[in-house]
C-alpha cells in the first residue's frame, strides 16, 4: 500500500472514524482500518455492534491495507506540518510509514484480514432529512440526556417519525427536551420509534454539516440504524427497551405565564449561577415572579448572595420557586427566539419553556427544592 492524500482531508476523516474505536486493551477495537480501493482510501472502525466508515480521494501507487492504532494515527496526521501526507506500507518490518515533508513515523500495523466484520443491517425503511436540521435537533436534546444512570434508556435519545412529523426527545428525569419538525421534505417519513445512545447521537451530529441543501439518508433495520452522507457511513445499534411516556410529563394547565427577553434571562442566570450552590454543588436560581418584574436570586452560605431584576410580561398569579441553574441555561440556549415564554403550574410543578412564535422546541424543567 502506497498513496498520497491531502492532510486536512485525511485528518478530518481520521477524527471521524476514531470516534468509533474503543479505549480497551484489545488492539483491534482501538484500531483504524486503512484500505485502498482504486483512487479512494477507506478508513473504518467497528466493535462488531456499531461502525464508522469514511472514504476520501487519494493518489494511489500501490493498493493494500493495514490496521493502525487509532489514537496515534489520528494525532500524527493532525500534527504533521505539510499539506500532503504520504503513506507507505513496509511488509518486511510490518510497519506503515506516515510521512510529510521532513517528518515521518513508522507505525506497527495489524494485518487487514484481522479487522472485525461490520454489523449486517437488514434495512426495512429509509428516509432523507437535511443534515443541518438533524444536527440542530440532536444538539437541542443532547444536554438533557443522562451521562450515567441506572435507568439505561435515559442515556439515549428517542427519534420518532409519525404523520410526516420528525421528533427527537431527551430526558434525564429532571428535565425533558422535545424537538420536532414537519415539512414538505418529511411527507414520506415512515412511522418509526428508535432509541440511540447519547454517544452515538453525538458522533452523528459531529459529521453533519450546516448546509441546508445537504441531506443525510437514514436507513433503519431490526437492530441498527445507518446514517449515510457523502463519504461517511455510520452504523448505530438501537437501544432495547421502551422509552418513558414523555408526553404525559408535558404540563397542560398553567397558573402563571412569563414573557422575558431570552438573552437577558440567559445572561442573568449565568451570572447568578456563580453563587447559587445547592445540593450536590448545583447552582440554584430562585425566581420571584411579581407584577411585570422578575427578581432572580442566588445564595451561597460561605460566599454570599446575588440578585438580578428583569422586566417581563406576566399573566396569572405571583410565584416563587427555584431551578437548577445549569439545567435552566441548557434550555435557554437551545431556544432560538428573542423572547422566551415560560409557563408555570405552581411552585411544586414543572415549568414549560418555549419560543413564543413556535412549538418546534419544548423544554420541561422540574423545580429544585433547597
- pLDDT, tens only, 9-33: 999 999 999 988 876 666 677 899 9
Predicted local confidence at residue 28, as pLDDT: 75
- Burial tier of 18 (Cβ tally within 10 Å: 0-12, 13-18, 19+): buried
Residues of the chain with pLDDT under 70: 23-27, 184-187, 278-280, 370
Rounded distance between C-alpha atoms, residue 11 and residue 348, angstroms: 51
Domain 2-114 has CATH 3.10.310.10: no
Predicted local confidence at residue 49, as pLDDT: 86
Q: Residue for cell digits 424537538?
A: 179
Cell of 246: 414523555
- Residue 43 near residue 56 (C-beta atoms within 8 A): yes
Predicted local confidence at residue 25, as pLDDT: 61
> 125-142 pLDDT, tens per residue?
888 999 999 999 999 999
Predicted local confidence at residue 21, as pLDDT: 81
- Give me the CATH topology for the region 251-365: DNA Polymerase III; Chain A, domain 2 (3.10.150)
Cell of 66: 493495514
Rounded distance between C-alpha atoms, residue 24 and residue 67, angstroms: 16
Domain with CATH 3.10.150.10 in the chain: 2-114, 125-247, 251-365
Kindly state which CATH superfamily the domain 125-247 is placed in.
DNA Polymerase III, subunit A, domain 2 (3.10.150.10)
Rounded distance between C-alpha atoms, residue 22 and residue 42, angstroms: 19
Rg of the chain taking only CA atoms, in angstroms: 25
Predicted local confidence at residue 302, as pLDDT: 82
Query: Residue 216 CB: number of other CB atoms within 10 A?
Result: 23
Rounded distance between C-alpha atoms, residue 85 and residue 158, angstroms: 41
Q: Read off the pTM.
A: 0.91
Find residue 155's DSSP bridge partners: none
For the CA atoms of 253, 181, 20, 56, the dihedral, rounded to the nearest 10 degrees, stands at -160
Predicted local confidence at residue 23, as pLDDT: 66
Amino acid at each position: 500500500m502506497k498513496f498520497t492524500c491531502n492532510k486536512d482531508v485525511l485528518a478530518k476523516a481520521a477524527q471521524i472514524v476514531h470516534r468509533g474505536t474503543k479505549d480497551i486493551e484489545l488492539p483491534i477495537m482501538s484500531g483504524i482500518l486503512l484500505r485502498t480501493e482504486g483512487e479512494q482510501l477507506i478508513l473504518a472502525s467497528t466493535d462488531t455492534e456499531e461502525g464508522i466508515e469514511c472514504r476520501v480521494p487519494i493518489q494511489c501507487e500501490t493498493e493494500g491495507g493495514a490496521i493502525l492504532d487509532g489514537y496515534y494515527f489520528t494525532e500524527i496526521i493532525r500534527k504533521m506540518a505539510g499539506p500532503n501526507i504520504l503513506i507507505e506500507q513496509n511488509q518486511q518490518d510490518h510497519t506503515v510509514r506516515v510521512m510529510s515533508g521532513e517528518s515521518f513515523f513508522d507505525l506497527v500495523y495489524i494485518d487487514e484480514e484481522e479487522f472485525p466484520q461490520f454489523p449486517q443491517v437488514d434495512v426495512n425503511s429509509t428516509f432523507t432529512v437535511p443534515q443541518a436540521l438533524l444536527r440542530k435537533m440532536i444538539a437541542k436534546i443532547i444536554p438533557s440526556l443522562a451521562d450515567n444512570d441506572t435507568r439505561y434508556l435515559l442515556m439515549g435519545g428517542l427519534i420518532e417519525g409519525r404523520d410526516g412529523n420528525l421528533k427527537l426527545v431527551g430526558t434525564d428525569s429532571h428535565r425533558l427536551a422535545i424537538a420536532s419538525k414537519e415539512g414538505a421534505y418529511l411527507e414520506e417519513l415512515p412511522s418509526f420509534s428508535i432509541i440511540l445512545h447519547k454517544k452515538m447521537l453525538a458522533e452523528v451530529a459531529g459529521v453533519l454539516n450546516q448546509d441546508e441543501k445537504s441531506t443525510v439518508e437514514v436507513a433503519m433495520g431490526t437492530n441498527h440504524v445507518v446514517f449515510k452522507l457523502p463519504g461517511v457511513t455510520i452504523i448505530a445499534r438501537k437501544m432495547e427497551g421502551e422509552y418513558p411516556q414523555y408526553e404525559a410529563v408535558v404540563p397542560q394547565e398553567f397558573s402563571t405565564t412569563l414573557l422575558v427577553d431570552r438573552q437577558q434571562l440567559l445572561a442573568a442566570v449565568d451570572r447568578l449561577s456563580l453563587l447559587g450552590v445547592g445540593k450536590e454543588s448545583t447552582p440554584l436560581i430562585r425566581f420571584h415572579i411579581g407584577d411585570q418584574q422578575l427578581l432572580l436570586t442566588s445564595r451561597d452560605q460561605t460566599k454570599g448572595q446575588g440578585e438580578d431584576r428583569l422586566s417581563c410580561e406576566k399573566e396569572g398569579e405571583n410565584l416563587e420557586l427555584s431551578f437548577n441553574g445549569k439545567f435552566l441555561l441548557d434550555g435557554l440556549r437551545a431556544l432560538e427566539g428573542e423572547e422566551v415564554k415560560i409557563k408555570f403550574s405552581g411552585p411544586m410543578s414543572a415549568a414549560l419553556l418555549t419560543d413564543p412564535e413556535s412549538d418546534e422546541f419544548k423544554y420541561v424543567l422540574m423545580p429544585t427544592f433547597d
